[in-house]
């Protein structure tokens, strides 16, 4: 079998959190195009259903839309049960749901801090834990967590200490799980995107006005597109990345190089 054929995901079963839109939707589309059946998991169930229908129409694969808040352990657990109950197994999980808040540290309330950490870090832990439990039982599986270049640098000019701290936590969590599960067939990696054009950036009232400034700082002079994260995720979810675990992949058009 050739390398491209080996990279296909035919018949694989994958869930994607934050899959209704943005990076999650784009990566889910790539998984589907590569042959996988997908559960689109999101708090926004109306949008998740639309995405699942759109991908089912485009690729003909089995698609589920499941409402779950990644900060609520019971919802993450029952979402995982539903995926495995319907699909029979879980080959890969893309733990991707996340939010950003741009608030100066000295003005941030405890609730605001907690919300960002709960969704971005605790949410990834709960989701990876639920997926990991299934995969450890199976003896195989690949988990991909969405970190950010903000795990590596402090973005300017916007203040976002909780976001940056949460994403740095995602990388160390990823490495910890990778080491714990390395001998039991479960791989855990993260991606660290640079600025990507999604609702989170393009339509955020606090971030949108900064795009020109970011582009001036960016070696490539532009933001990334969600599609530019697809192939790394297909690689990580599939069977050509069997020696890849505990790694973080920075996809940022060289933004963090200097
Ligand atoms: P987005 O806002 O377009 O999409 C995020 C999705 O997550 C939404 O559908 C939302 O409903 C869902 N979501 C939010 N909270 C949730 C929760 N508690 N439980 C389940 N689902 C929830 O954002 P995006 O740009 O696609 O970002 C996706 C991930 O990529 C996030 O983790 C983000 O931090 C990360 N990221 C984004 C960028 C960027 O520039 N856009 C850069 C680096 C990393």
pLDDT per residue as tens digits for the range 175-227: 999 999 999 999 999 999 999 999 999 998 889 999 999 999 999 999 999 99
Residue of 92, 90, 73 lying closest to 82 (CA atoms): 90
Task: Quote the pTM value.
Answer: 0.98
Active site residue 163: yes
Active site residue 167: yes
Burial environment of residue 223 by CB neighbours within 10 A (0 to 12, 13 to 18, 19 or more): buried
Of 167, 192, 195, 241, the active-site residue reads 167
Residues with C-beta less than 6 Å from any ligand 1 atom: 17-18, 20-24, 42-44, 69-71, 96-100, 119, 123, 146, 148, 193, 195-196, 198-201
With the most atoms of ligand 1 within 8 angstroms of its CB, the residue from 93, 97, 146, 164 to mutate is 97
- CA 179 – CA 173 distance, rounded (Å): 10
Sheet-wide strand order for 186-193: 63-67, 37-42, 13-17, 92-95, 141-146, 186-193, 248-251
Ligand 1 center to 42 CA (angstroms)? 10
Share of the chain above pLDDT 90, in %: 98
Of 12, 26, 163, 166, the active-site residue reads 163
Specify whether the CB–CB gap between 120 and 98 falls below 8 A.
yes
Ligand 1 center to 234 CA (angstroms)? 19
- CA 92 – CA 162 distance, rounded (Å): 28
Confidence band of 6 (pLDDT split at 50, 70, 90): very high
Q: What's the token pair of residue 35?
A: 């042959």
Ligand 1 center to 185 CA (angstroms)? 28
Specify whether the CB–CB gap between 63 and 38 falls below 8 A.
yes
Q: What would the mean pLDDT of 81-91 be, rounded to a whole number?
A: 98
Atom of ligand 1 nearest to the CA of 70: 19
pLDDT digits (tens, 9 = 90+) for 108-164: 999 999 999 999 999 999 999 999 999 999 999 999 999 999 999 999 999 999 999
Specify whether the CB–CB gap between 99 and 134 falls below 8 A.
no
Residue of 125, 140, 127 lying closest to 13 (CA atoms): 140
What is the predicted pLDDT for the residue at 85?
98
Burial environment of residue 8 by CB neighbours within 10 A (0 to 12, 13 to 18, 19 or more): middle
Query: What is the residue-averaged pLDDT of the chain?
Result: 98
What is the predicted pLDDT for the residue at 206?
87
């Amino acid at each position: 079998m050739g390398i491209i054929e080996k990279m296909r995901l035919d018949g694989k079963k994958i869930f994607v959190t934050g899959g209704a839109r943005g990076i999650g939707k784009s990566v889910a589309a790539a998984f589907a195009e590569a042959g996988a059946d997908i559960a689109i998991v999101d708090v926004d169930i109306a949008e998740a259903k639309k995405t699942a229908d759109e991908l089912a129409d485009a690729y003909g694969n089995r698609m589920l839309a499941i409402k779950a808040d990644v900060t609520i352990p019971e919802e993450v657990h029952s979402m995982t049960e539903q995926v495995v109950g319907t699909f029979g197994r879980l080959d890969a999980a893309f733990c991707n749901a996340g939010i950003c808040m741009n608030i100066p540290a000295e003005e941030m309330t405890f609730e605001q801090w907690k919300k960002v950490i709960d969704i971005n870090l605790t949410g990834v832990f709960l989701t990876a834990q639920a997926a990991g439990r299934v995969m450890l039982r199976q003896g195989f599986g690949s988990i991909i967590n969405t970190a950010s270049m903000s795990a590596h640098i402090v973005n300017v000019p916007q203040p976002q200490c909780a976001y940056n701290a949460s994403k740095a936590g995602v990388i160390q969590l990823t490495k910890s799980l990778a080491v714990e599960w390395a001998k039991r067939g479960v791989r855990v990696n993260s991606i660290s995107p640079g600025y990507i054009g999604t609702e989170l950036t393009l339509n955020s009232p606090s971030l949108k006005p900064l795009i020109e400034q970011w582009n001036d700082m960016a070696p490539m002079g532009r933001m990334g597109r969600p599609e530019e994260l697809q192939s790394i995720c297909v690689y990580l979810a599939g069977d050509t990345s069997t020696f890849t675990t505990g790694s973080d992949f920075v996809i940022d058009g060289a933004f963090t190089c200097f």
